[in-house]
Amino acid sequence: MANIRLYELHASVCQTLSNPKRLEIIDRLRDGELSVTGLAEVTGIRQVNLSQHLALMREKGIVIARREGANVYYRLSNSKITQACDLMRQVLLERLEAAGELAETSRK
């Protein structure tokens, strides 16, 4: 029964991470917290849309918010989130490289 709950949580987090903008937010937060305004500037995501993404990510436990005056700052809840994203990126890069090699071989 515990495994089923873990699979459900895993799927829920993966679903949240299935958005390219959210992956970019994670990448931008890897070095520390940023304000919503700062995140909007570095990502080019409109603040309204960014706030929606951040709210979902906060709900799923991916980011943590901190309010300071009128500003809200976000950081990753756990550094292992970036490690997981980096590992998946490596798998994808290897896959792309292998596909490129296969394409080159088939052209010869």
Domains of the chain by start residue, with CATH = 2-77 (1.10.10.10)
pLDDT tens readout for residues 17-26: 999 999 999 9
Residue 17 Cα distances to 11, 55, 94, 95, angstroms: 10, 13, 20, 20
pLDDT tens readout for residues 69-96: 999 999 999 999 999 999 999 999 899 8
Model confidence at 108: pLDDT above 60 = no
List all residues 6 or more positions away from 33 whose beta carbon is below 8 Å from its beta carbon: 66, 73, 74, 75
Q: How confident is the model at residue 41 (pLDDT cuts 50, 70, 90)?
A: very high
Q: How confident is the model at residue 106 (pLDDT cuts 50, 70, 90)?
A: low
